[in-house]
Amino acid sequence: MNDLVPVRLRPSAPRPAVRVGTAATTVLTGLPGPGGYRRLGLGPGEPEMVRTDLGGREPSPRLRSLLAFIHLSDLHITDAQSPARAEFLDRAGPLPAVDRGTTERAGTYRPQETLTDHVMEAAARAVRALPGGPATGAPFALAISTGDAADNGQLNEIERSIALLDGGRLVVPDSGDRARFEGVGTALASDPGYWHPDGTPPGQPDDRPRALFGYPIVPGLHDASRRPFRATGVGLPWLAVYGNHDALIAGTVPPIPSVAARAVGATKLWDLDAPADVAALVASAQSDPGLEGWIRLAGPRRPVTPDSARRHVGARGWIACHRAHPGEPLGHGFDAAAEAAERTHYALDVGPVRLVVLDTVNRAGGWQGSLDRAQLTWLEAELVAGHSRYRDAAGVECRTGARDRLFLLASHHPLECLVNDHDPTGLGRALAGEVRELLLRFPNVVCWVNGHTHVHAVTPIVAPRGRYHGGFWQVTTASLVDWPQQGRAIELAVDEASGDLVITTVPFDHNGLIDPRVGRLPEIETLAGWSRELSANSWHRRQVPAEPDGRGRAADRTLMLVVPAPFPLHAAGGRA
């Protein structure tokens, strides 16, 4: 979608330097070696560019901060030993061919999946080292985690993700048998379709990631990845957003008993009795949970150590986990009423900004998103309450006398992924077109942050000329599990010269080692460094001969995004 919109991009005017994240330095891939495998290096900072696709003027140096925050998405904290996982679907796919439309979207297997806790820990340490907002250097007010903090909706994954963001608690990235690793890629469960970091088991062929794609040997990696450590935490109040992997098995299937029981069982499905059409299963799962297909998956099993902490918890349990610990703010966006009602959308004021958190997960299944009717009605009421003027569904201007507020939206799915119309209730789901039309009726909506695609993208959502108001910016942030494993620092500021709103967004790298070979296991920086290097060499997302696509374009990264003021901001005396 982002490649289809015109982009007006130019260097920003000189202003006092606020060198944050990749504006200072950035991790880049090097030249391909055997099998196309790339090691990483540290490159120069990216120049800050200006986008005025929605109108407005070149920002002046006179910026007054309204809100600076950290955006993280798609942590995918993974129990890589869970018997509920279906790594064999990756192996049944088109390896070694590059197929970016089928199995990579399922996320059933990644060579770096044992290292997700360490990447989040390295990201938390990086957040604490950031000097301040990328526009003015103002202190960060909060962090937002926009969904898929867990990989498979399991209690142990959810608890670990919360501990990593909160800090101060022991994180145990292990499950089942604490004496050995029971996941794929070991001599215990050897298969050439998976990467074996300890090397080729005796009597077995070299695994295909090493033989075909140049993956290295890292002895002891699995054992090192299971060692407990104390989490640092992001050092900020943080808010949670519901994602499809937080809610659904493999991000797709509702936890019906016949499937959910696999997570806490004592056997693991290891292969398929018959070849599966993986492409068809994954493609249909965008807007259909494919229950019959998942239930019918059958094949040889091997014993594993059961663990009750692998159980799926559902929306109420997910909220309860966030309310059970003393991190700030208490409940991370949720209260007792939300838990009782299983309500995973909410709104709150952050300084002069009204933050509206949407739940775009279709709990009936499917990995793409949509909104239910009740939430759409709630969203419209929230918008009306913060607008002195807006347009109704017929395009007629309405005046309310309400105090104007700037609106920042947060969700897991971006607008273009709201295509999941699966609805057993018959009430109907709100999809991209309807949500877009609603938002464009309200001029105070200025920015929508989200994730899900694992690719940096910045898109102007533009209103039809003459029908509504100007539009808003959609800022999609890449994941912490796939390349480039970055978050974003974002700041909303008023240009006191023009009155425009300026949204400055800069990605930042976690503090894993650029070359993990110089580090020692099990140090966090070493493990996070290995994860980033492995992610840069994903055969699923690789664009031959280029790197995986997660970084997006220059127009998606280090930017100043201008929004013509929807109401007088520069005269608001800091209140907006």
The CATH number linked to 382 is 3.60.21.10
Residue 569 lies in a domain: no
Residue 261 lies in a domain: yes
Which of the 8 DSSP states describes residue 465?
A: T
Average pLDDT value for residue range 14-36: 82
On the question of pLDDT at 118 being above 50, the answer is: yes
Domain that holds residue 244: 2-563
Domain count, the chain: 1
pTM beyond cutoff 0.85:
yes
Residue 228 lies in a domain: yes
142-145 and 63-72: which strand pairing? parallel
What is the DSSP code string of 411-442?
A: -SS-GGG------TTSS-EE-HHHHHHHHHT-
Q: Read off the pLDDT of residues 320-377 as tens digits, 9 standing for 90 and up.
A: 999 999 899 999 999 999 999 999 999 999 999 999 999 999 999 999 999 999 999 9
Residue 573 lies in a domain: no
For 9, the enclosing helix (H) or strand (E) is strand 9-11
For 340, the enclosing helix (H) or strand (E) is helix 336-341
Mean pLDDT over the full length of the chain: 90
pLDDT score at 9: 54
On the question of pLDDT at 420 being above 90, the answer is: yes
pLDDT score at 298: 78
Show the DSSP H helices in 180-323 as ranges: 208-213, 221-225, 244-247, 257-260, 278-284, 291-296, 314-323
Q: What angle do CA 558, 412, 428 make, to 5 degrees?
A: 135
Residue 574 lies in a domain: no
pLDDT score at 284: 73
Q: Which of 46-60, 272-286, 288-302 is least confident?
A: 272-286
Is residue 490 a contact partner of residue 503, using CB atoms and an 8 Å limit? Answer: yes
On the question of pLDDT at 168 being above 80, the answer is: yes
For 170, the enclosing helix (H) or strand (E) is strand 170-171
pLDDT score at 319: 98
pLDDT score at 106: 54
